[in-house]
Amino acid sequence: MNRRHHELTALTAHHDCEFRELLGRVGDKWSLLVIAMLERMPGQRGRFSTLKRSIPGISQRMLTATLRSLERDGLLTRDVYAEVPPRVEYELTALGKAFMKPVCALIDWLQANWSTIKTARDAFDQRSSSRRKAS
């Protein structure tokens, strides 16, 4: 069989395992934003309240769940300090920092191609609107 077939087989072989779960997590609504916000903070480290303020629309519950998932996957660490009130800080791990390299490449690609994507969306919406009116 050809090389392309082997590459596709290897890619789809992971469809029912944790690999797919992680792809779903990092592609969800909040995970990339949390990682990106941490990357921009001094020392790539930040407090829960600072993260919450920096991500419009995220609830306390969703931020907590997202941080726990990212910690579980080894992309960040959680440090609790015995102070009153307790202080909790999150920091990107080496894995989390390395993860940002392909994410930045994706963002660069999106920025470079956004006008083409927008044009394609507008054309699609126009065709879809015309089809609905014709029906």
Q: pLDDT by residue for the chain (135 residues), tens digit each? A: 567 666 666 666 655 667 777 777 777 889 999 998 999 898 889 999 999 999 999 999 999 999 999 999 999 999 999 999 888 999 999 999 999 888 889 888 999 999 999 999 999 999 888 777 766
Distance (Å, whole) CA 65 – CA 59: 10
Per-residue pLDDT at 24:
76
Per-residue pLDDT at 1:
52
- Residue 12 has, within 13 A of its CA and on its CB side, a CA count of 5
Kindly report the number of other CB atoms within 10 A of residue 23's CB atom: 12
Distance (Å, whole) CA 100 – CA 105: 8
Per-residue pLDDT at 69:
94
Residues sharing a CB contact under 8 Å with residue 67, sequence separation 6 or more, in sequence order: 34, 48, 51, 76, 78, 90
Residues sharing a CB contact under 8 Å with residue 41, sequence separation 6 or more, in sequence order: 50
Q: Kindly list the structural domains of the chain, giving each domain's residue range(s) and its CATH number in brackets, ordered by start.
A: 3-95 (1.10.10.10)
Per-residue pLDDT at 7:
64
